[in-house]
Structure 1
């Protein structure tokens, strides 16, 4: 199998679906001739033509509205929003139309669209290019939200998302796009290097939405993470020397609550790690779900390790990120508070 980074794996997934399903098409700002700002769609327009991979005006609302109409007509559009920060002008389309279309029409119409978007930090993009809005989408009934952490998962989850009959928000961590990172900033570089590039099959395969992965088995504490934070968690666990079980959620809606409950029932402790701000973040929902189902098994309070409750700081991006050191402190706290 070839070795791919996440950009190459996502491009391969799009290539597979465009080649096998004539009803799929890719569009968005600069995704055609230019190949996207991160080159994720590079080569697709040349291979499949202007009708299957094309550029759009700078109109996020228009992009998503067009995709919803295409989906209702019977196509499987894969629109790209250039940065997740820019998706808000299309939020009403996603909430009022895409998420509700199947129910509002009593199953006569639906919106099988997959909205791809780079998200999170890692490029010093500041407040307009680095936010993590996954909790907003998770709150909307009818939308699915998927966040891969490895190239292998990215391809399998993206193909599964495209083939799903419901609207999917597919968030791609920018920090994982290109493989190994700048070690001057990323203290987890040595641990991550093996996961930022991976063997990825060239053909079609899928990973079911709503099925978490147990990245590391352990007996003392459960760490829940997704996207970039899976690798931060791996580095922090190794540094702390705690026998922790690491679960990569892979999708937050649908959520694999059974795997989470089984793990916390075994370990009796739980830490939740995400890049978004702590207050109102998806970690709060995870904490409530764990407490409701595992209360009698818990041996210490549930911990959340997250971004600051501030607007995204441009100059202090690498301090804003929950890094391995902050997870190490949380791991030690839950062990000491037992």
Structure 2
């Protein structure tokens, strides 16, 4: 009888599975134990300001950015890698958990990734948001550690590896050895700053106004931080600042290279800063192993070439760079018992029972 009820409950998804969440400024990825990455959606929430009701979350809410009537607002509850709107973050996590779990009797354990430099207040906000969203226990893992695991690096060896994780709100640079972070920094310069730089450049150079979504499309299509061998050109539609009317113009990859130079230089400086403070033995390991880049920002054309040229160290972009952190949380889920008893040497093993 018991086994029969278990089979029925399993079919109804009543028994919850543990979940790993890459809670990014731009995108949320959810990993479900035994299934892999099952959700990859923008971290955007659309809310009715009058009733406070959530109208849409993720991709549907993303399509509403800049296009909503007065009573509806589409917001991004995370800014620069941390929670800027606690209530909306909690409700967003709750919606995503419900989307991947459906109806369930038992609360899941949840592993959430956080930037390598985060205050205790910010940590507590993430833990509380996850707990209030329906998690039984919340574990925090630093993003560079999860990114390294997801990129296939064996972090438990006595061997230095340098990981550069460029997300939407923050860039984390960390040297990892023996399962922990030896030296690291986290700067609030990442994908969003690239978009802002493109918007400012187009306004200054072409006297036109474009939105963040158009800027992101430019970044993905013709964006580069290292000179391309062949010039790429893209047609863009925006609003002329002189007439206030729609206008079509073209932008080239060389223009975007100039626009992104200041932002990309800040990331290169962060890599230099970490390398300068890394013990000599580990620096030798990094020279042999190379630098590994993860995160959506690392996919901007030529970023690996730029860092390699500035540091003299071979640099590669990890396979499935966008999902590396999510896959790293998945690996942590598989070793959750070790995290609970403290035998797994991950940087942040804080947990909280509701």
Q: Same fold (TM over 0.5)?
A: no
Bigger proportion of residues as strand: 2
| Higher-RCO chain (CA-CA 8 Å, sequence separation at least 6) | 2
Larger Rg: 2
